Amino acid sequence: MFSLPRPSAGPRRRIATALGVLGAALALTVTTVGGASAAPDPGRDRTDVKPGEAYMGVGTRIHEGIPAGEPSLGVMSPTDGVQGIDVSHWQGAINWTSVRNSGIQFAWIKATEGTTYKDDRFNTNYPAAHGAGVIRGAYHFARPNVSSGATQANYFVNNGGAWSRDNLTLPGVLDIEHNPYGAMCYGLTTTQMRTWINDFYTTYKSRTSRDVVIYTTASWWNTCTGNWTGMSSKSPLWVAHWTSAASPTLPSGFPTWTVWQYTATGSVSGVAGNVDRNKFNGSRDRLLALANNT
């Protein structure tokens, strides 16, 4: 039987060899880049934070066993409605004009932690967000085991947490969540925790005339305050629940949510890397009403 001659294997071998060399080069490049950053990733998803480095949701990551960098199911949640973000120094330099142009209408920015730490990018982020037309506010990362609620509220107000009716400033936020530095409830009993939160609230209101917004999770609140219902009629709720569900799980006593942090691994133009994404429960007019206390 007549058979066609087999094509030479030479070109095939040369292609395979070239691909092998290219693959090795790429592997070397990846290895080299990885090796050059042998220190822990200084990015937003780190959980080995030191005092002063905490950010919204870090305690939840640690205590609920969510690995750093792990995508949350919340990235699948719809990004409809009035959208916002929250940031700290972990996001680095932010282009707030790009953030606003991408559809983000509001942002809360870390100002303080405990009574000795002020976020080192707050003085840049806060006016820049305002200048770009983002309705912005400040947040305080609570450390109930280091000083009283009143002391920390005063520190917050004195270092960025104050409020003014200018159509672009939201009331301050008390970020109270799993302790990223130790025991989940900071070593306080449920009664002590309730007192601490109420003292923060009362002091903040006396200094600013505003009800502080409470950021928390259902699991932390129910455990560390003992299913306390005492704040539901006073403070707007900002609930963190990273889920693809249509609505978040609420802490005991709160009939609804005002803001929902639905993912910790969102992306927004103008921000490098992961950023928390949030949704406001209402229209832009209602958001402005919250900002202006009307």
Structure tokens at 86: 């929250």
| Closest-CA residue to 190 (of 148, 141, 223, 239) | 223
Q: For residue 113, indicate whether it is catalytic.
A: no
Q: Could you tell me the pTM of the whole model?
A: 0.82
| pLDDT given at position 59 | 79
Cα–Cα distance between 69 and 97 in angstroms, integer? 26
To 5 degrees, how large is the angle CA 279–CA 181–CA 179? 40
| Closest-CA residue to 211 (of 225, 195, 196, 200) | 200
Phi, psi angle pair for 239, to nearest 5°: -100, 135
Long-range contacts (CB closer than 8 Å, 24 or more residues apart) made by 245-254 = 245/77, 248/218, 249/218, 250/218, 251/216, 251/217, 251/218, 251/221, 251/222, 252/218, 252/221, 252/222, 252/227, 252/228, 253/227, 253/228, 253/229
Structure tokens at 38: 């042998």
Q: For residue 175, indicate whether it is catalytic.
A: yes
Answer yes or no: are the C-beta atoms of 145 and 177 closer than 8 Å.
Answer: no
| pLDDT given at position 26 | 33
Cα–Cα distance between 158 and 203 in angstroms, integer? 12
CB atoms within 10 A of CB 3: 5
| Marked catalytic residue, from 45, 113, 119, 177 | 177
Answer yes or no: are the C-beta atoms of 208 and 163 closer than 8 Å.
Answer: yes
| DSSP H stretches of helix in the chain | 10-36, 58-63, 96-101, 122-131, 149-156, 190-208, 218-224, 284-292
| Marked catalytic residue, from 113, 175, 211, 276 | 175
The sign one gets for the Cα dihedral 63, 65, 66, 69 is positive
Answer yes or no: are the C-beta atoms of 248 and 239 closer than 8 Å.
Answer: yes
| Marked catalytic residue, from 45, 53, 86, 113 | 86
Helix then strand then coil, in percent of the chain rounded to 5, is 35, 15, 45
List residues bridging with 135 in a β-sheet.
Answer: 106
Identity of the residue numbered 261: Q
Cα–Cα distance between 82 and 84 in angstroms, integer? 7
Task: Collapse the DSSP code of 145 into the 3-class scheme (helix H, G, I; strand E, B; otherwise coil) and give the result.
Answer: coil
Q: Are strands 135-141 and 104-113 parallel, antiparallel or unpaired?
A: parallel
Q: pLDDT 10s digit of each residue in the chain, 294 long?
A: 434 444 444 444 444 444 343 343 333 333 322 222 223 334 556 567 777 778 888 777 776 666 555 555 455 455 679 999 999 999 999 999 999 999 999 999 999 999 999 999 999 999 999 999 999 999 999 999 999 999 999 999 999 999 999 999 999 999 999 999 999 999 999 999 999 999 999 999 999 999 999 999 999 999 999 999 999 999 999 999 998 888 999 999 999 999 999 999 999 999 999 999 999 999 999 999 999 998
